[in-house]
Amino acid sequence: MKLGNFEVISLYENKFRIDGGALFGVIPKKIWAKLMPPDENNFITLEIHPLLIKTGEHNIIVDLGLGDALSDKMKKIYGVESPSHLTKSLEDAGISLEEVDIVIFSHLHADHSLGGLKLGDDGNMVKLFPNAKYYAHRYELDDALNPNERNAATYLIDLLRHYDEIQGIQNDGKIIDGIAVYLTGGHTRGHLLILVQSEGETLIYPGDIFPTRHHLKPAYIGAVDSYPIDSLYKKKGIINECLKGDYYIAFDHDPDIRIGKLKEKDGNIFAESVE
């Protein structure tokens, strides 16, 4: 889609499975199962949609998905059944791996960060984007490289260490003209929202604060969120800003709506696809 002078494309990286209770937290299965029916093992299939922003001067990717560097054990845990589609999605968008010059991580959980890695023919790890600068919040870097017992399964530290050049963002604000980041916390301590603006139009990529459109209800917060009360208050603020400013919103995991706009009817908030 066109956003002012920018082109914004929701890419397809892969599918994975997650326990429905982990995705919806304290919401009873009787409720969430009507929105996203699980399989016989209580798992829901999600898609992974990194965001490509073509400014004319820069090619930026927000998040990278799971990639092809996972062990067979981790593929089974995440329910990954096919190779990463990230390279093909970029080719379809007219972008080579060498042309990507900025990567911004909303956070460093495996399903958002590992898509820039693959095993080479010699068995060594290869980074897909040789000319890119990488950014994540410094809190996220600290927590990802020093995980605790609760989040160690979501930060795959042995793989993340191959990104030895990630720059730790310390404050909210501009990465380049038209691209800014803001600390949300909530899902993780260092979770970022990415704001894209051009010619008076605005799109937000809220990452796992709103992994799907079903999470627009403030109380629908995943059990995987490290700071759920922070998520709750941040969600309310983001919804208000989106409605007030008529912002576009890009969902990272929704199987049906990749980019939409928020609407309100009879006190209910919902997303309409714009693609």
CATH number at residue 193: 3.60.15.10
The C-alpha angle with vertex 45 and arms to 143 and 269, in degrees rounded to 5, equals: 80
Mean pLDDT throughout 145-159? Answer: 90
Mean pLDDT throughout 107-123? Answer: 93
Residue 275 has pLDDT above 80, yes or no: no
CB 126 within 8 A of CB 163: no
Give the span between the Cα atoms of 20 and 265, in whole angstroms. 27
What confidence score (pLDDT) does residue 120 get? 84
Range scoring the smallest mean pLDDT among 132-136, 151-155, 218-222, 249-253: 151-155
pTM of the full structure = 0.97
CB 189 within 8 A of CB 107: no
Portion of the chain with pLDDT greater than 90, in percent? 93
Please identify which residue in the block is written with the tokens 């930060």: 155
CB 104 within 8 A of CB 135: yes
What confidence score (pLDDT) does residue 57 get? 97
Mean pLDDT throughout 79-107? Answer: 97
Residue 224 has pLDDT above 80, yes or no: yes
- What's the number of domains the chain is made of? 1
Residues 6+ away with beta carbon under 8 Å from 242: 204, 249, 261, 262
Q: What residue numbers bound the domain in which 60 lies?
A: 2-273
Give the span between the Cα atoms of 51 and 203, in whole angstroms. 11
What is the overall mean pLDDT for the chain?
Answer: 96
Give the span between the Cα atoms of 6 and 202, in whole angstroms. 11
Residue 119 has pLDDT above 90, yes or no: no
What confidence score (pLDDT) does residue 203 get? 98
Give the span between the Cα atoms of 49 and 14, in whole angstroms. 8
Mean pLDDT throughout 116-143? Answer: 93
What confidence score (pLDDT) does residue 138 get? 97
Residue 164 has pLDDT above 90, yes or no: no
Tokens read off for 108: 């460093």
Residue 4: phi, psi to the nearest 5? Answer: 60, -125
Residue 15 has pLDDT above 80, yes or no: yes
